[in-house]
Structure formats: C-alpha cells, structure tokens
Amino acid sequence: MKRNTGCNSHHGCPPSLQCDEAKTIRVDCDSDSFYPNGNSLKYPVADIPVVLSEVELQVEVESDIYLPTAAKEIKHMRRNVSLTQCKAIRSKMDYKKVKLYISGIVHKNIQYVEQCSGILRDYSVDVPFTCSQSVHVHNYPDYEHLSQKNAVYERRFIDKKGHGADRCTSGAFTYEYYNEPIECKLLASFVNDLDLYKDFDNWGRFSKITEKAEVGLFFKLLQKQQVDLGCTYGEESSSSSSSSSSSDSGYDMGYKPKSMKDRMSELHKNYEG
C-alpha cells in the first residue's frame, strides 16, 4: 500500500505559510481618473456583437397539469420562464427579416393543501412550449455565404498511354464558409395565465389544472460583425453609393424608434391600469 507522506500534495504553486495578522487602525485612499485612450488603427474596424433587433414575442400556451394528490385549495403558485432553444436564420424571402425558432419552459411551483388543516404540499412541473416566427431586423445580418461540399471543379490527369483519364488519380475543389450565428439574449419575461380546476372528487377536491397562459418574451438578437469604427449612424457619406443605399433601405435617419425599455414600461403601466 502506498504511504501518504503529505509531500507534493499541491498541484502547481502551493500557498505560502500562514502568518500572524496585524490589526489595521486606518487606511487612507486617494484616486484620480483619466479619459480613455485607445489605439489608433490603420483600418478602424472591430469584431463586436451587433444588436440586430430587440424582439417582443407573445406565446399562447394551453396545458393540463395533474397534481400528485387531490387539492382543496392552491396556496401559492410561482412561475419562471426559461428558453431551451432560440435559433435564428436569415430569411430568403425577405432580407429584412429573420426566422425564429423558439422553445422554452414555464416552470411552475405549486403549493396546495388537501384538507382544511394539515401539511402544505409542494409540487413542481415544467410546461414546455415551442413556436416559430418571422421578425423584422433593424440592423441587417451579415451577407450569408453558402458552402459547396460536393466537387465543384474536378481534377483529372491523363493516363500513361495518353488515351484518356487516369482512373487511379483524381482531385477536386470544394469550399465552405463559416458564418457568424445569430444569438439570442433573453432580457425579460412575463406569464399571464388563467387556471381552471377540474376532476373534482366527492369531497370537492380537484386533481387537474387546465392552464391557458400568455407568455411574453423580450430578447435581443445579436450577431458578431466587423464594424467600421470611423462611421456613425446617420452620418452623411462622401460616397454617393452609400447615400443611395441608405435611402433604398427605407430608413428615416431622423426617426428615433421606440426602445425596448419604453415598450416594457408601457406594458407595465397598462397592467397597473
């Protein structure tokens, strides 16, 4: 049996020996601040996450929840929303839109009682939902490059007799691009539900809850893009082609669209009445 001598028990640099600690009477601090100074780039571009759009998505969910035992009364019900999938691809029908494929769960924690007095039971259940939707983007995704995995150009060689192609030697040219994916970042969510109690027994207790819920999701669509740091939004370009492309896009540079924060505040005020 190998003896444990305690030597070389730490991997890497071991901690130093612990010493006595003095009692600190007072610490004085001072500070100063300076404006940030960045590098001067020959080509002022950077790869950064670009917000394509801020999305409000409404999902209607109907489900049946079966309690493990019959309930006399629901005391408390907590709801949490999380996404299990958020995939986005650029639409080929409309370059101003992306196709969203969303999956998630509403986690419900239900606390209830079975009798007029007794223990409080706790039951947790996940309500899954899935939907797909087309949404408008305000910053366009990068141009999507498609790959060609089958042979585009085949490389053949003449045989030794000069009568045809060498069947033992060949080659080909294929190519593939690696596009930046469109990512999702969940900002906020809400659950507005109606619970219908069903399957009552002889004592007036129910064991089934039919839920009709409106789930609101607020999230960002982001894509890492190479951004020109020397250009600002709305700045007139010296190139006539740039100005024409801006006008063709249909955007009003003087219009400030409603932000996601404004929209969420508006919904909150509407709920409060």
Query: What radius of gyration, in Å, describes the C-alpha atoms of the chain?
Result: 31
Instruction: Judge contact between 230 and 44, C-beta under 8 A.
Output: yes
Q: Which of 74, 66, 104, 64 is nearest to 212 (CA)?
A: 64
* pLDDT digits 0-9 by tens, 222-270: 999 999 888 655 544 444 444 444 444 444 445 556 677 677 677 767 7
CA dist 243 → 18, 131, 236, 238, 239 (Å): 68, 38, 7, 8, 7
As given in the structure block, the two tokens for residue 218 are: 């607020």
Please give the pLDDT value at position 15: 77
Query: Which letter does DSSP use for residue 93 in this model?
Result: S
Round to whole Å and give the CA distance between 224 and 221: 10
Q: pLDDT tens digits for 96-119?
A: 999 999 999 999 999 999 999 889
pLDDT confidence of residue 41: 83
Q: Is the pLDDT confidence value at 12 over 80? A: no
- Looking only at the bridges linking them, the beta strands covering 182-200 and 206-228 are antiparallel
**CB–CB of 200/206 below 8 Å?**
yes
Q: Classify residue 203 by its DSSP letter.
A: T
Q: Which of 108, 110, 112 is nearest to 73 (CA)?
A: 112
